[in-house]
Amino acid sequence: MVNTSAINNEQINLSIYHHGFSESTIQIINNFANDILDGKSNLTQFNQKEHAGLCCAGEVLIGAYIVCNYARVSLTPSSDASESKRIPSNGAIDQLQEKLVQEWAEAKQIWFPFAEKEIESAYGKMIAQGAEAKVYYKDNDTSVIKLRTSIYATLERAFESIVLHNALFPETPMHVIGFTRDQDGLFRTILTQPYIGCERLATKEEIDLMVGNIGFLDNYNGQGVNYISERLHLEDMHPANVFVDAISSKPVCIDCIVKFRRN
């Protein structure tokens, strides 16, 4: 029986290393994710508000993020490694993260190889497609389904962007339910998000005010759609990603690019 209070990343990493995604490893990851959801454990890279965004994204996202952490750590040279052993590229990290998350998702039965066809059958055809997501919606539903691909340096950072979106814009939370690859072979995260009726697209002034109220400044002297705070980069905040809600008449962010400021 696993003592959930003692579960940590090191224990999970050792289990993956020695046993792969066995039933016992899956259970350890599940228990740790549930500890996070119950407030018994946390991931130190996220502050309290971001942790709420992590929990809102759900147990599937938390588990996948933990697997990504293992992939990155497994490729990172130890402190006593020779100088000839270089730090791995983001490309190498991303490739391993996608591979291991797929293996974990298959073992957990949340990998859906024909998701595009199944979602279209259940929800109808796409209503929108951008660089980052395909969006499906069925009339009168309260949520949309998105197949979200990564435009970030690594899959781990793509998952962080979901967490950070939820923290910044809790009125349009993303909740992860599984993973797939599309017909072009791109890794995609399957998630749900509340459906927002669009009264109109937000103006630049409305977007400036909205993000200013949560601590962001325009990063291009008022001429662009990118913003910055002490902790985060917030990008791609153009009107097609920010609607004025038909019910509240307030601007809401549907999608964006958000990431930690890193040295």
Taking only the tens place, the pLDDT of each residue in 196-231 is: 999 999 999 999 999 999 999 998 777 778 999 999
Distance, CA of 20 to CA of 71 (rounded, Å): 12
Distance, CA of 166 to CA of 128 (rounded, Å): 21
Q: How many CB atoms lie within 10 A of CB 99?
A: 14
| pLDDT at residue 1, as a whole number | 32
Domains by residue range for the chain, with CATH: 4-108 (no CATH), 115-194 (3.30.200), 198-260 (no CATH)
Distance, CA of 66 to CA of 226 (rounded, Å): 29
Radius of gyration of the chain (CA): 19
Distance, CA of 108 to CA of 102 (rounded, Å): 10
| pLDDT at residue 85, as a whole number | 61
Q: Return the ∠ at Cα 164 (arms to 129 and 6), rounded to 5°.
A: 125
Taking only the tens place, the pLDDT of each residue in 4-61 is: 345 688 899 999 999 999 999 999 999 999 999 999 999 999 999 999 999 999 999 9
**CA distances from residue 34 to 42, 113, 163 in whole angstroms, order as listed:** 11, 26, 16
Distance, CA of 46 to CA of 53 (rounded, Å): 9
